[in-house]
Structure 1
Amino acid sequence: MTQIKKITKAEIKEIIPLFDAYRVFYKMQSDLDAASKFLDDRINKKDSIIFGAYINDKAVGFTQLYYTFSSVSLQKSLILNDLYVDHNFRKQSIGEQLLQTAKEFCKENNYKGLALETAIDNPAQKLYEKLGWQKDLHAFHYFWQVK
């Protein structure tokens, strides 16, 4: 049975190995110390909300949501920035449960909605669409990077 819970400062250490594995999945160097500092900062500064998925009291997945705002609609929204499930626990609907929890949190707090970005070849698109996310076809996303 999977339990989903909002992560507090006391529980952040349980998510750090998963967060590090998530970063490695995206071709970054493993760095548990940096991952720990980053997540501690997010929790301490209240920059994000993290939900963890647990099986038998072991953290097996997480999602991290960041706050954003819409000047046009004058509403707060969330960005579902990170979603990761340990490879040993995939295909058990854990990702879906984390996504549903994020949606419920959004509704409970009267946010406008949840945005997410994914690679064009990510097979999880089917899950996102099944759960009600709609592909944005009327806008392009650009990014400027400091070099």
Structure 2
Amino acid sequence: MTHVRPATIHDLDALTELLDGYRQFYQQPSDIQAARDFLRQRFGQADSRILVSENREGALTGFVQLYPGVSTVGLNARWTLNDLFVLPECREKGTGRALMEAATQLAREHGVARLILMTQVENERAQRLYESLGWQRNTAFYGYLLDVK
């Protein structure tokens, strides 16, 4: 059984490894120090919500990260579910589902009207999970990106 809880600064080492694995999944080079610095900044600024899953032994097996935002049109809070990652050996065992359900429950508890996410077109495994949980593919809006760096 998967246990999901809020991440704390005490999870930094294990969470750093998970974040680095997540980035590598998206074809980014491994950079443990950058991942650690990024997470330390998230904890310091408290600008995201991070939930972690752990196995019976207490080892972290995955995480989900949410960033708060608002909708001017909807006049409400919306959170972006930006990151979901489960260790390869823990996939297809309900870990991702548990993290997604915990994220939804956390949003409900905070009065958030909508969760939004984007995933790669090729990530069919994740798409199946999202759709099985009632998420709907957005067909009303196009997504655009602009690199300003």
User: How does the TM-score come out when normalised to structure 2?
Assistant: 0.95
**Partners of 1:49 and 1:12 in 2: how far apart?**
14
Structure 1 stretches of 4+ with a deviation exceeding 6 A read none
Of all paired residues, the percent bearing the same amino acid is: 36
Match of 2:2? 2
**Partners of 2:75 and 2:15 in 1: how far apart?**
33
Q: Deviations over 1:53-80 (max 9, x none)?
A: 1002000100111111101122111101
- Contact 2:51 2:99 (C-alpha < 8 Å) held by counterparts: yes
Q: Which runs of 5+ in 2 are unaligned?
A: none
Paired residue for 1:138, among 133, 140, 149? 140
- Structural mapping, 1:1-147, within 5 Å: 1-55=1-55, 56-123=57-124, 124-147=126-149
**Partners of 1:108 and 1:43 in 2: how far apart?**
20
- What is the deviation of 1:83? 0.5
- Contact 1:9 1:44 (C-alpha < 8 Å) held by counterparts: no
SS in 2 for 1:73: coil
The one-letter code of the counterpart of 1:44 is G
The one-letter code of the counterpart of 1:134 is Q
- Contact 2:66 2:82 (C-alpha < 8 Å) held by counterparts: yes
SS in 1 for 2:101: helix
**Partners of 2:88 and 2:8 in 1: how far apart?**
24
The one-letter code of the counterpart of 1:145 is D
- What is the deviation of 1:117? 0.2
The one-letter code of the counterpart of 1:119 is Q
Q: Which runs of 5+ in 1 are unaligned?
A: none
SS in 2 for 1:132: coil
Q: What is the RMSD computed on CA atoms of the aligned residues?
A: 1.0
Q: Deviations over 1:67-106 (max 9, x none)?
A: 1110112211110100001111111010000000000001
User: How does the TM-score come out when normalised to structure 1?
Assistant: 0.96
**Partners of 2:91 and 2:2 in 1: how far apart?**
12
